[in-house]
Chain A
Amino acid sequence: MTSLAAVEPDGFFEAEATVRGFRRIAGIDEAGRGPLAGPVVAAAVVLPRQKVFPGLKDSKCLSPSERNRLFAEISDQARDVSVGHADAEEIDEIGIVPATRKAMGRAVRGLSSPPDYLLIDAVPLPEMGIAHRAIVKGDLLSRSIAAASVIAKVTRDRLMAELHDRYPQYNFLAHKGYGTREHLTLLDQFGPCDVHRRCFRPISEMTFPRLDTPTQ
């Protein structure tokens, strides 16, 4: 069996949906599920049929400059692009997985006209009421999902760069909120800020070693 790293995403699932009669197929992916800070961002992308984006792979395998280049190209050439998010406060309230699904729902609803078919990375979204297929490792296998993963990742990175200006002490510009050694050290030093996810360890252990919430 070929290693998945060698696979490049193609239009197979899109073609399958087209054959079944669907006309507006949106690829959905998210970025920022793992970090300790910042929102989770989801993107929905409707690509033109048959259009190939040279060099498009899932966002994790791309260099930053390649990602930026593809971001510009996809934004320009796609039939439709939309992003949605759920911020740290929501993540603390409902949990990261429900928050991710909410972000995806918001991305879909932000499209200029509703898609009739969704290709989603790994997460079924039956509540949208739209025919869809959730594909594990979808960002490696489907062109539309790969495109959405690029849009989501780059958008989130740019957002974290802005948050860096507001909270420079954590150096969000470098690690985007992920739990790198640098971030953990700075988190220890300064304590968490408003955009840290308090339900994530290590933050939950720092400020609220017991998670019950005292009332005023």
Chain B
Amino acid sequence: MRAWWQRFVTAVQSVMFRLRRRGTQGSAGRHAGSVSSQSFGQQSEQLAERYLQRRGYTIMHRNYRVTQGEIDLVAQDGDTVVFVEVKARRNSSFGSPVLAVDARKQQRLTKAARHYLHRFHLGNRSCRFDVVSITQDASHDPNIELIQNAFELGES
């Protein structure tokens, strides 16, 4: 017979972790309801994360945001720090989502990456930028593509 406080503790934990909590957007709002009410972007980010884990990456940080930029995922691949941009599209006819990472976005990524490396004292590690591109045509499961070293750490 479990003590009453044990039942409370278990109940609190099941409430906390029942919904996939706020790991994705970084907003403080509550996500009511089930996974299906998540936005397409959030689902894509989760999919990308799981894919990278299957590829052997260790996820270190989600949604790293600073004033000058933001990074969707920071991960570790062996000894390398990888800054991952997740690009999701519903329709493949506009070209691969990789092309959507334009110069301005690259700059923002670079700035955020420098901030991250400095903040977590990783300046001596090698790093690179990857892009995970997710294409979701309604008719089939999403295509996932990983482009490693999609661009070089810029000169900002």
Q: How far is the CA of A19 from the CA of B42 in the complex (A)?
A: 59
Q: How far is the CA of A216 from the CA of B41 in the complex (A)?
A: 7
Whether B8 sits at the interface, judged by CB under 8 Å, is yes
Q: Give the size of the chain A interface in residues (CB under 8 angstroms).
A: 33
Contact of B9 among A92, A93, A159, A166 (CB under 8 A): A159
Q: How far is the CA of A188 from the CA of B116 in the complex (A)?
A: 12
Hey, which chain A residues are within 8 Å of B61, CB to CB?
Answer: 191
Contact of A195 among B6, B9, B16 (CB under 8 A): B16
Hey, which chain A residues are within 8 Å of B27, CB to CB?
Answer: 213
Chain A contacts with B in 106-162, Cβ cutoff 8 A: 154-155, 158-159, 162
Inter-subunit contact B30/A85 (CB<8 Å): no
Whether B23 sits at the interface, judged by CB under 8 Å, is yes
Chain A contacts with B in 178-207, Cβ cutoff 8 A: 188-189, 191, 194-195, 198-199, 206-207
Hey, which chain A residues are within 8 Å of B23, CB to CB?
Answer: 194
| Contact flag A191-B60 (CB < 8 Å), given A92-B28, A162-B13, A209-B67 | yes
Whether B149 sits at the interface, judged by CB under 8 Å, is no
A-B contact count (CB 8 A): 73
Hey, which chain A residues are within 8 Å of B63, CB to CB?
Answer: 207
* Chain B residue at smallest Cβ distance from A71: B5
Inter-subunit contact B64/A93 (CB<8 Å): no
Q: How far is the CA of A22 from the CA of B5 in the complex (A)?
A: 28
Secondary structure class of chain B's binding surface, majority of residues? mixed
Q: Give the size of the chain B interface in residues (CB under 8 angstroms).
A: 33
Chain B nearest CB: distance from A194 CB in Å?
A: 5
Inter-subunit contact A216/B5 (CB<8 Å): no
Inter-subunit contact A89/B21 (CB<8 Å): yes
Q: How far is the CA of A158 from the CA of B5 in the complex (A)?
A: 9
* Chain B residue at smallest Cβ distance from A39: B12
In addition to A159-B9, A159-B13, A208-B65, 14 A-B residue pairs with Cβ atoms within 8 Å of each other are A39-B16, A75-B3, A81-B4, A83-B8, A89-B16, A92-B28, A158-B6, A158-B9, A191-B120, A194-B17, A207-B65, A209-B66, A216-B41, A216-B42
Pairs across A and B, CB under 8 Å, 19 listed: A75-B3, A75-B5, A83-B5, A85-B12, A87-B16, A89-B28, A93-B29, A93-B30, A155-B5, A158-B9, A162-B13, A163-B13, A194-B16, A194-B17, A207-B64, A213-B25, A213-B28, A214-B65, A216-B39
Residues of A within 8 A of B (CB): 39, 71, 75, 81, 83, 85, 87, 89-90, 92-93, 154-155, 158-159, 162-163, 166, 188-189, 191, 194-195, 198-199, 206-210, 213-214, 216
Q: Which 3 A-B pairs have the closest CB atoms?
A: A92-B28, A216-B41, A213-B27
Residues of B within 8 A of A (CB): 3-6, 8-9, 12-13, 15-17, 21-23, 25-30, 39, 41-42, 60-61, 63-67, 70, 119-120
